Amino acid sequence: MMLLRRLPLLFLAILVVSSCDGDDLSLAIDPPPPALTTDELIIADCYVVRDALEAYAADNGGEYPGYPGPPFTPYLPGNNKLPNRYTGRSTLPIFGAPNWPGEIGVIVFFDESSDATGYRVIGRGRYGELVRLENISRTPKTIVDGYALVLENVDSLLAALDVFFAQSGYYPSDLADDLPSGETLIDLLPGGHLMYNPFLLPPGCFCEPVDGAGLGVPGGIGYVGIDRNGDGLTDDFGVEAYGYDYEFFVSRTRQSLEDEWVRISYELLRAAVELFASENGGVFPRDLDADQTPAGDTLRDLITRDYLNPYTNASAYRNGLATSRGEVGYQSLEYNGVVVGYVINALGLFEEELERFEVTN
């Protein structure tokens, strides 16, 4: 009992006397709560962003920030941006609609006087939107509805791009590019015609999308086809859209910036393997580090730049096939002790195979 008198009251609350003779004491401590899932952390971060927006408005006459960075950033915890809970990179929030898993987007609504009178915070998980927090009480409904229509138009354009790619194996180089059937991207849009821009007067027009980027037109949607491999086929695209106050608020591409880095690393490794073979009598290396060309270069030496794994900040390259996100793997193929070919693969954020290339002599 003397021991009990000396323990703090907090500890007394969790002491349990548990033996028949009353001499043994054991602590019964409640287990810690389970760790939040990645998507739950994203939702919690959205509330942090919402609170920061309201704190900013309270200090600035009720007007919300119209763009990221200072003077808004100091209102976030630690005076810094928040991490993307999937990639780990501190890039959030973005101002505009979120595009990729883990992103938190802030769509700012401007009124007729170009004042930022409302906002919508959207958190995106692996499979889509997780949460939407907003304050649009002072923003005209016609403007809020207009932003929603522009986003709907972007989604319709992306769906048409998916159909075009499924039927051809590539994306259109521009809006006039057509399928073997003769259909263009415009023909694949709802109704088979250009989409309605709610912000152009009077009062709006069926005029979206258009070719090009950096348009800066309220409600405008631009499309750019991209040939990343230089083989004459459009393997990527850029779609952008603008809001009521000429602000850029939607950006869509085929892949995230991080996975684009992985693809670049993959292409650099492919080029290095072919260079190694050209300098080594047509013989491919066994791995990244062992075999050398007559000039003394290993395969790793011939890679012109290591962009690093965007998810770990370590080298993206590994011997053997890639098994974790952001990795680019090299696996030689041998027959009777002779390297006769190779396989290169690259994995994305969720360890899905972004690219795979195999060759044998």
Instruction: Inform me whether the pLDDT recorded for 17 exceeds 50.
Output: no
Q: Determine the pLDDT at residue 7.
A: 39
Q: Determine the pLDDT at residue 120.
A: 96
As a whole number of angstroms, the distance between CA 327 and CA 308 comes to 9
Q: Determine the pLDDT at residue 249.
A: 86
Q: Residue 119 CB: number of other CB atoms within 10 A? A: 23
As a whole number of angstroms, the distance between CA 204 and CA 198 comes to 5
Please work out, in degrees rounded to the nearest 5, the angle formed at the alpha carbon of residue 163 by the alpha carbons of 160 and 164. Answer: 85
As a whole number of angstroms, the distance between CA 26 and CA 21 comes to 14
What would the DSSP string read from start to end of 145-209? HHHHHHHHHHHHHHHHHHHHHHHHSS--SSTT-B-TTS-BTGGGSGGGSPEEETTSTTT-EEEE-
Q: Read off the pLDDT of residues 40-67 as tens digits, 9 standing for 90 and up.
A: 999 999 999 999 999 999 999 999 998 8
- Give the confidence band of 26 by pLDDT, cuts at 50, 70, 90: low
> Averaged over 25-39, what is the pLDDT?
74
Q: Pairing between strand 338-347 and 236-242?
A: unpaired
Q: Determine the pLDDT at residue 2.
A: 41
Least confident of 5-19, 68-82, 181-195, 283-297: 5-19
Q: Determine the pLDDT at residue 174.
A: 96
Q: How many CA atoms lie within 13 A of 102 on its CB side?
A: 18
Instruction: Inform me whether the pLDDT recorded for 324 exceeds 60.
Output: yes
Q: Determine the pLDDT at residue 24.
A: 53
* Tokens (6 digits) for 260: 């684009």
Instruction: Inform me whether the pLDDT recorded for 14 exceeds 70.
Output: no
Q: Read off the pLDDT of residues 222-268 as tens digits, 9 standing for 90 and up.
A: 999 998 777 888 989 999 999 999 888 888 888 888 998 999 999 99
Burial 244-254 (b: 16+ CB within 10 A, else e): bbebbbbebbb
